[in-house]
Amino acid sequence: MIKMKNISETLLGLVSNYSPSGQEKPAVQFLLQRMQALGFERTFQDKVGNAVGIIGQGPHQLMLLGHIDTVPGEIPIRIENGVLYARGSVDAKGPLAAFVDAVAAVGVRLGWQMIVIGAVGEETDSRGARYIVDQYRPDMVIIGEPSAWERITLGYKGCAHVKITARRSSHHSASGQQTACEAAAQIWQDVQAWTGEYNEKYNRRFEQAQTSLLKWSSGTNGFENRATLEIEARLPLALNPVDWFLVMKELAGTEEVQTMGFPIQAYRSEKNSPLVRSFLKAIRGAGGKPDFVVKTGTADMNIVAPVWQCPAVAYGPGDSSLDHTPQEHLSLEEYENAVTVLKKMLKNITD
């Protein structure tokens, strides 16, 4: 592993083990070894590949759920002017490493079991979170996602995907008949128009629907032409995936509509909870000015929080606008500030 001064060994080790979704094993093995070295009382890899570390025991359970996978695209690791450049430094190995370092520093707290999980597959199908949701029932959960060290994330939009396929019999281009590509183009225009009309009622992006055309493909077998659209929606609290699917079917008319992946409902947690109050106190205690944020993306919070029905927030160092970008980087000072906040918060909440 690369040796660098003034950087958390946990953070450096995680980003040094490149782990795009589906290739998390080396990073998981490192994290388990690192948690053992830091004094976690129990560490193991669960049935779906998540890295799990546990400190303490008792009637109360605090879950710190991060994810260990990243999007593809390895970034050469370097530190310049106190900034770490590496894939996953922000999304979301930075927050996961901060969880591990903070829990290890705080140690055993009477009556509390603290569980840190580096979940697999968050960037694809959230298989890690989907597995643990039936394995635990924590009193509180913190999701490891970048928020900047002074901010607490309260919610994320939902998401849904559809594939719409238009088919037309082959004909001469001079016939004037509508082609499959023209039919698909009209559907996409209708989706955009519907989205714009829906959003006129709302001013905040978190309350609006966002639709993206992820893929357009076409082809022919000589007798039939086809054009396929793959559309993603980021959905607000007021619009659940089932209702959005019905809108897509209506706009597609007689064309084929298929749902893709796992539809996810938007989620927003309450501000007035012991967990939030502990974070506010900790951020102020570290010299920060706390603030709240809601995100237009989707996270494992959407999977676990509605089932666990417990206080939930997302927190972690990093600028989320750098997620998935070639410029992904993390200020080491911000990382240390986040660890300080987490240590104070853990002591506050477990006193």
Domain containing residue 73: CATH number: 3.40.630.10
pLDDT tens string for the chain (351 positions)? 444 557 999 999 999 999 999 999 999 999 999 999 999 999 999 999 999 999 999 999 999 999 999 999 999 999 999 999 999 999 999 999 999 999 999 999 999 999 999 999 999 999 999 999 999 999 999 999 999 999 999 999 999 999 999 998 876 565 668 899 999 999 999 999 999 999 999 999 999 999 999 999 999 887 789 999 999 999 999 999 999 999 999 999 999 999 999 999 999 999 999 999 999 999 999 999 999 999 999 999 999 999 999 999 999 999 999 999 999 999 999 999 999 999 999 999 999
Residues 149 and 165 in one domain: no
Final residue of a domain: which of 264, 284, 318?
Answer: 264
Residues 78 and 133 in one domain: yes
Q: Is residue 247 part of a domain?
A: yes
φ/ψ of residue 135, rounded to 5: -100, -20
Final residue of a domain: which of 264, 281, 310?
Answer: 264
Q: Is residue 250 part of a domain?
A: yes
* Residue showing tokens 């997620």: 323
Q: Is residue 190 part of a domain?
A: yes
Provide the domain limits for residue 202: 158-264
pLDDT score for 169: 84
Q: Is residue 36 part of a domain?
A: yes
Residues 151 and 277 in one domain: yes
CATH number for position 229: 3.30.70.360
Residues 308 and 187 in one domain: no
Residues 21 and 149 in one domain: yes
Residues 307 and 252 in one domain: no
| Count of the separate structural domains present in the chain | 2
Tell me how far CA of residue 326 lies from CA of 76, 80, 91, 302, 309, in angstroms: 10, 16, 12, 26, 36
Q: Is residue 229 part of a domain?
A: yes
Which residues have a catalytic role annotated?
69, 122
Residues 129 and 19 in one domain: yes
Residues 145 and 163 in one domain: no
Q: Is residue 220 part of a domain?
A: yes
Residues 151 and 170 in one domain: no
pLDDT score for 178: 87
Residues 260 and 291 in one domain: no
Q: Is residue 1 part of a domain?
A: no
Total residues belonging to the chain: 351
Final residue of a domain: which of 233, 264, 295?
Answer: 264
Residues 148 and 291 in one domain: yes
Q: Is residue 3 part of a domain?
A: no
Rounded distance between C-alpha atoms, residue 320 and residue 340, angstroms: 20
Residues 36 and 184 in one domain: no
